Amino acid sequence: MPILRLLLALLCITIFAAALSSAGMAKDTGLVFVSNEKTNNLIVIDPKANKVVKDLKTSRRPRDMHFSSDHTKLYVACGDDDVIDIIDVAKLEVVGKLSTGSSPETFGIDETRRRIYVSNEEGSSLSVIDMDQNIIVQEVPTGAEPEGVFVSEDGHFVYVTSEVGDLIHLIDAESGNVMQDVVVGTRPRRFAATPDHKELWVSAELSGEVYIIDREKFTVESKIEFLPPGMRKTDVTPVDLRITRDGKTAYVTLGHAAHVAVVDVPTRKIQGYILVGKRSWGLGMSRDEKTLYVANGFGDDITVIDLRTRKATVSIPVGRIPWGVVIDD
Amino acid sequence: MGTLRFAHPTFCTLLGLLGLVASALAQTAPPPAPPRQHISIGYVEIEGDPRYEPVRAYERLILKTRDHPFAGAQIGIDEAAALVRVLNTEFALERITVKSSAEVASAVVQALEGRDIHFFLIDAPAEAFKPLAASTKGRDTLLFNVSASDDGLRREVCAREFVHVIPSLAMRMDALMQYLTSRKWRDILVFEGPLPADAETVKAFTRSAQKFGAKIVANQRFKAGTDPREREQNNPALLSAIRGNYDVVFVADEAFDFVRQVPYHTVLPRPVVGSIDLEPVAWHWTWEHNGAPQVNSRFDKKSGGRRMDSADWAAWIAVKMVVQATLRTRSADFAKQRDFILGDTGFDGDKGLPVSVRPWDHQVRQAVLLAAPYMVVASAPVEGFLHRINELDTLGDDEPETSCHLNK
């Protein structure tokens, strides 16, 4: 009798597990995706073994990547083919394409309104794409070389940086009008929002700073300057940044300075620098916030950082000029 | 209690009247929007400037097409369009074409006095600058030199109204020499052409060799031609058949004529640098870092397919400096803008290290690219060449070396 019960229990577990996996499909594979600008591929890495499990061909010059909210699809902006590739995360293959403006670089998704907002580096505009109809419904003119895109949590506003204009545009998502601009440091690149929705952090690559914008007033509230020991100010070129869910810690890649800065968000104090590879740009953080992945553009590899010890543990070769990292977890 | 007061009839009437007056006022005199400011930047060029004539092998075979860097200035203006909203300021170029170098100074003075233009891009050869310095001395103007790289303008002429945006010859030669010595190619054979510009180039190159510890093993004067009686001077094989070894051949040939025959014709198999194959330049159409592809692409569109070169870069960044000065000082006041441009601020020149103006001779410090025909081989300052303040000052006349002290 006990054996029968055990068997029954095992059967139940198996059925349950099967149900879970089929419902979730590709959920929580934990796989790490790295886009490579020059080799036109995504390298997919199994984070447990730190091994490459798939070399996924994409359209030319893949850069920014975002998952759909259910993580069944991965969207990849491909700058040289003016498309966003849609990847089936379970099958690990390209299953569709969305047309964009000229040279799409980064984008934000609003799944409620079924919109993608993508910055067109060469076209000096933000394209608003209807995801279902695959058409550009609007082009919003921006300053030259728009880059970072951030869609507000309620979907009402889109924030875009202009690298050449040293500006952040605040765009009304409904009308597509630029409502306000704020001037920041030289060559603003990417955004990270604090979880309380009050602040927007913006990296300024050439002035080597992060600007903190008060979202309610849309003004610069303060800024943070970086200088890892032994580095020159001119090497400090911050690009990507992430803020933890508790709103306490921010991580910022410093480009040519080959370090990631760790910032205490409430006090703006720099807690330390973690050595990574050459021209560190894109960042990916695991959901448990224990691991950070850094794309090293001039090292053709990624650095894996253990966030508990704040040390790099391993670097993994990927393709040529890795741009960004996302994790399916 | 307080709310009762609002119900008082007289008060209400008064309030209503006030409202009426206010709305009437609003209709007749809307709050005046601050008038939009206009900043014009003069672009002075010389009609038929021989520096822009195509380089030909013979009449119908054009080796290089060249053009005034006006399109470079134009992309700078286009980029400022997004700032109109923020600054309430529009930027425009006024293209001023004169007949000769001698007319440059008077054209600038006329525009300065008559049309309130303070910033000028000067696209003229060196000879135009001395009279220009004399006639603008002490005036409220900044003159951006976008195409004359002569060292003398930074040394003897030495005028505070100038900003030399194009790298000096000394900077370019230092950049090349840094690269050669970094490869340990320290024994150099020099071929010097017949033009005064060739002599100037060799002079600067020799100075760079002393500075960075290279050795010029021989300096051969060449003369283009096919005359067999002059073969010792016109045959690259004979010219390069010297006693002893050399690592590299440096050619100074402003005419871009003889130099074409040098690669693959030397007695020893050695790389050729200088006027061909590996050239030190301010900009190159294949530069692909620091946002350069986007600038090249905007330039390509604006110019109708021309490849962006050094003078185009200089014109572009000069306009950008004026725009940034307006943006960062939030002012259209010339004195404030000038102080900003000549101050410590760095500008984004898409060449890595931020560019800025040297206070001693007003040369724009910047990286110099070492360009092969289809690839930028390296960017100087080359790694390992250090400076106590700014590595960019390892290129060209540093403060202790210069004879021009505008900051003193």
* Mean pLDDT computed over B40-57: 96
**Per-residue confidence (pLDDT) for residue A232, from 0 to 100:** 84
Q: Smallest Cα–Cα separation from B368: which of B147, B177, B154, B162?
A: B177
**Residues B192-222 pLDDT 10s:** 999 999 999 999 999 999 999 999 999 999 9
Q: Smallest Cα–Cα separation from B279: which of B296, B259, B299, B265?
A: B259
Print pLDDT tens along chain A (329 aa): 455 565 555 554 444 444 444 444 556 789 999 999 999 999 999 999 999 999 999 999 999 999 999 999 999 999 999 999 999 999 999 999 999 988 899 999 999 999 999 999 888 899 999 999 999 999 999 998 999 999 999 999 999 999 999 999 999 999 999 999 999 999 999 999 999 999 999 999 989 999 999 999 999 999 999 999 988 888 899 999 999 999 999 999 999 999 999 999 999 999 999 999 989 999 999 999 999 999 999 999 999 999 999 999 999 999 999 999 999 99
A261's CB contacts (< 8 A; 6+ apart) are: A226, A228, A238, A251, A252, A254, A270, A272, A273
* Mean pLDDT computed over B73-99: 93
Closest B-chain CA to A232? B390
- Is A162's CB within 8 Å of B346's CB? no
- Is A124's CB within 8 Å of B353's CB? no
The CA distances from residue B400 to B213, B279, B393, B394, B405, in Å, are 19, 27, 11, 12, 10
How far is the C-alpha of B8 from the C-alpha of A255, rounded, in Å?
69
Would you say the C-alpha torsion B392, B394, B396, B398 has a positive or negative sign? positive
Residue A316 CB coordination number (10 Å): 18
- Is B79's CB within 8 Å of A143's CB? yes
- Is A206's CB within 8 Å of B348's CB? yes
**Per-residue confidence (pLDDT) for residue A51, from 0 to 100:** 94
Contact yes or no for B214/B180 (Cβ under 8 A) = yes
- Is B354's CB within 8 Å of A206's CB? yes
In angstroms and rounded to an integer, the radius of gyration of the C-alpha atoms of chain B is 27
Which residue out of A80, A82, A164, A187 would a mutagenesis test of the B interface target, given it has the greatest number of B Cβ atoms within 10 Å? Answer: A164
CA distance A90 to chain B (A): 35
pLDDT confidence tier of residue B14, bands split at 50, 70 and 90: very low
**Per-residue confidence (pLDDT) for residue A7, from 0 to 100:** 54
- Of all residues in chain B, what percent carry a pLDDT higher than 90? 83
- Predicted ipTM beyond 0.95: no
Which residues 283-312 of A have a C-beta within 8 angstroms of B? Answer: none
Angle (CA) A50-A53-A58 rounded to 5° is: 120
Q: Which helix (H) or strand (E) holds B371?
A: strand B368-372
CA distance A223 to chain B (A): 16
**Per-residue confidence (pLDDT) for residue A18, from 0 to 100:** 43
**CB < 8 Å to A186, chain B:** 346-348, 354
**Residues B332-381 pLDDT 10s:** 899 999 999 999 888 999 998 889 999 999 999 999 999 999 999 999 99
Q: Average pLDDT, whole number, for chain B?
A: 92
Q: Which two tokens stand for residue B121?
A: 């891009």
**CB < 8 Å to A125, chain B:** none
**Residues A110-121 pLDDT 10s:** 999 999 999 998
**Per-residue confidence (pLDDT) for residue B25, from 0 to 100:** 45
- A66 in contact with B, Cβ within 8 Å: no
- Does B139 have pLDDT greater than 50? yes
Q: B223 - beta bridge partners?
A: none
How far is the C-alpha of B176 from the C-alpha of B201, rounded, in Å?
12
pLDDT confidence tier of residue B35, bands split at 50, 70 and 90: confident
pLDDT confidence tier of residue B58, bands split at 50, 70 and 90: confident
Q: Which helix (H) or strand (E) holds B401?
A: none
**Per-residue confidence (pLDDT) for residue B29, from 0 to 100:** 54
